[in-house]
Structure 1
Amino acid sequence: MAPVLPTLLFPLRTIAERWKLLPYATPQTYQFSYRVQVRNPATSRRAALIACPLPPTLPYQQVRDVRYRTKPDGSEVEPRYHNRFDWWNVQLPAGGSLMIGYDAIVSVSPRSTELGADLPLRPGPLVGDRYFEVTKQVKELAAVCARGVLDQRAYVARCYTYVIGHLRYGRPISGLYRASEVLTLPEVDCGGYATLLGALLLARGIPVRLVVGFWAGYPEAGMHAWLECDNGNGAWAALDPSVEQLYRNGRTQKSGRRFFVGSDRVVVSLGSDLELLFAGRKVSTPLLQHPAVAGELDAAYANVTAVSA
């Protein structure tokens, strides 16, 4: 059962967000730093191609003054969601290491977008990817959520409430849980909340996309993932069920709920089940948040920070 006090305070927090009384309810500008430590654990010289995401320019996010620690060997755009990424051709001697990455100024605005009124609920599903699977079980659950519902806004609310009410937060992974896994596991991370909710919306013809980024303005810029759905009017509406559940359980003060996310996060990529093409190589990745590696070197975050500029 959710703690009583955060649940009672939730409507007051929503009012404070609308009146811009909370820091994340107003535009913020951050010094965003993305650092990757590349290492060669082998006993001989090794090489690898390392790709790192660049924060995209979006209606609610502006990026400027990108400065590199080590100049990349190239820049590319992922074709499906148009994610930008830089790549480095790194060669290291046995036991060697190299730090790569960049700094950028990122300005972020809060976004509050709801679905258009009276959008009819579609009977048929849209096709998802390997993570947003519209399986038989998802379709059956979607039918339960759609019972007595005629429009998309009510259906999204029903699915969102189901996800918050039935999932438990835990077991964070570097990749992405499949929707079918989420239905069988006792705990999943924020990405799992997003894939199940997204699969349920796809089952009734509502387009969705994963949003991936890092928290900003907090002591630690931890990873986060949430969902956006097509609002029917040419815009995307944010859905962040994991954070809303954590807030209602008294486990976070960060922003995030149905149709609102604050300026306390920096987006680094969109979409899931991606294929990156660079330097004549193709690398498949569930999401573009960690560095993508093609080769024989190890690459992991050394540090990601997003502090007020």
Structure 2
Amino acid sequence: MIAFVLRRLVLMVPVFLVVSLVVFLIIHLVPGDPIDNLMRVGSTPAQRAQIEAKYGLDRSLAEQYLVWMGRLLTGDLGTAIIQRRPVAELIGQNLPYSLALGGLALAFSTLVGVAAGALAASFHRSWLDDGVTGLILLGSTVPGFWLGLLLILVFAVSLGWVPVSGARGWSSLILPVIAAGAGGIALVARVTRVAMIEASRQDFVLLLHAKGVPPWTIQLRHVLRHAMLPVVTVLGLRIGWILGGAVAIEYVFARPGLGSLLIRALNQRDYPLVQGCLLMLAMAVILGTLLGDIVQAAMDPRQREGRPS
């Protein structure tokens, strides 16, 4: 198991380098210049050149990338051009809000999704299966930001049950968690349903039925456990996706977090801050995939031994 984890960690190095290069190039190819937000009316070209030299923007893209990577390897994400504060400090202040929202949304989508998928698979080809499948299809097509606005209109504005926006206590997390996790429910339920239907056709299930094991025991203790491998893979990818998907949700609910910080930095063309936020979101996807692989290997020895499933 240790050798498997070490191999995965080594494979992360080239992936990280490619991701860092893509993140760096994306923000520098976007039209606009952060220096425009710092220049005062009547500033001279010499003053502009002085500011560009101060932040290293007068160098070539290759030089800027090498300098950024050198600082990144020492844990220095740079200094935000507009806010003039360390990027790591700004991310550290906003990251807990995103982690709270993302973690609760992931748990919500996992529990409800697995339960819905198991219910549909247990009553395969029945009206209940058709109903759950229809809800899955509906949930996968509804945009998270639209659902968030609808939830605000109904439960915050009309009924007044929860706060409209902000991060004041746990009650302010209810609607954002539902909006961020709704799409994941559809994905997890669909994967769980298909995996359980395929697992129920295996020979060991017929043997359990022949031994007289109760059907619900077979479904929950044996079939569901075998079906969790593809679900774990999806959940590993969802760890990074849900932080990225929370960008729009945080903006809709006016919550602090990486999403709000990233959107503000994009509007200001603050290169170091945008690069730091995007890199954090990309690392969440990479680490989520790694965690999914490790859990899969722990559940199925064939995965870590490189044998076909």
The TM-score bracket by the shorter chain reads under 0.3
Taking structure 2 as the reference length, the TM-score comes to 0.27
The structure with the largest helix share of the pair is 2
- Mark the structure with the bigger radius of gyration: 2
Q: Could you state the TM-score of these two structures normalised by the residue count of structure 1?
A: 0.27
Higher strand share: 1
